[in-house]
Structure 1
Amino acid sequence: MYRGAIYTRVMSVRGMSEQTLLVLTALAEQPLHGYAIVKAVHELSGGRLELRVGTLYGVLDRLVADGWAERDREEVHQGRLRRYYRLTGDGLRALAAEVTRLEATVRAASTVLRAVGGLA
């Protein structure tokens, strides 16, 4: 997990991508297969984000390599293989840490905006 520890330190400074954040959020509720993750991310983003298959599996591969997600099960549906992924405890902690980081950032920006009259 040495690579994961380095990744976590970098993320605490830089933050994670929106795609990663939303994939982790989608998986926090229940294990999902690829297409269900794409749909969940689209809904969570209010329709702003359309994950392409290559992007999704790149994110999932990194999450699995870092121990934040793992393969849950596989099943065949209408002749096609569906691979389900689920969030790990480390993934849930990473998601919670990112939410905390983002909330602090929003608080700081809101304070400045209020001070300059840009936010009611």
Structure 2
Amino acid sequence: MARQQFQNLTEPMYYILISLLQERCGVDIMKSVIDISKGRVRVGPGTLYTLLGKFEKEKMIIETKIQGRKRSYIITDKGKEILLDEYRRLITMVNDGEVYMEGEI
């Protein structure tokens, strides 16, 4: 099921998973997404915690610690595999379009 549901990641999904290559709490994930995307992508708390729940359910991330209301997460091997598949898919798309877009950019 996870393979099909997460076949193509949305931008927020992609950047959240990249962010979780290091252990982070929710606030730090939101800041990291902004940093990684150079401000182009922002994730609000509603979107973030919805996606974290889905990722955790599919064992793409695990919760690493809880301090009061603060919860930290990190990507699992399964999550890394899905992230890497998406990275390769995006590279393939760019490469496929490169010849056709030459001179258009």
- Smaller-chain TM-score range? over 0.9
Identity of aligned residues (%): 25
Q: For the aligned residues, what is the CA RMSD?
A: 1.2
User: Hey, which of these two has a bigger chunk of helix by percent?
Assistant: 1
Please tell me whether the aligned partners of residues 65 and 73 of structure 2 are also in contact (alpha carbons under 8 angstroms): yes
Alignment gaps of 5+ in structure 1: none
SS of corresponding position for 1:46: coil
Q: TM-score, normalised by structure 1?
A: 0.82
Correspondence 1:83 to 2:76: no
Q: Deviations over 1:64-119 (max 9, x none)?
A: 1111111111124xxxx2100110000001111000000000111112112xx324
Equivalenced residue count is: 105
For normalisation by structure 2, the TM-score amounts to: 0.93
Q: Which structure's CA Rg is the greater one?
A: 1
Equivalent residue number for residue 25 of structure 1:
18
Verify: 1:36 aligned to 2:34, yes or no.
no
Q: Distance in 2 between matches of 1:69 and 1:5?
A: 14
- 1:113 maps onto 2:93 in alignment: no
The unaligned stretches of length 5 or more in structure 2 are: none
Which portions of structure 1, spanning 4 or more consecutive aligned residues, are displaced by more than 3 angstroms? Answer: none
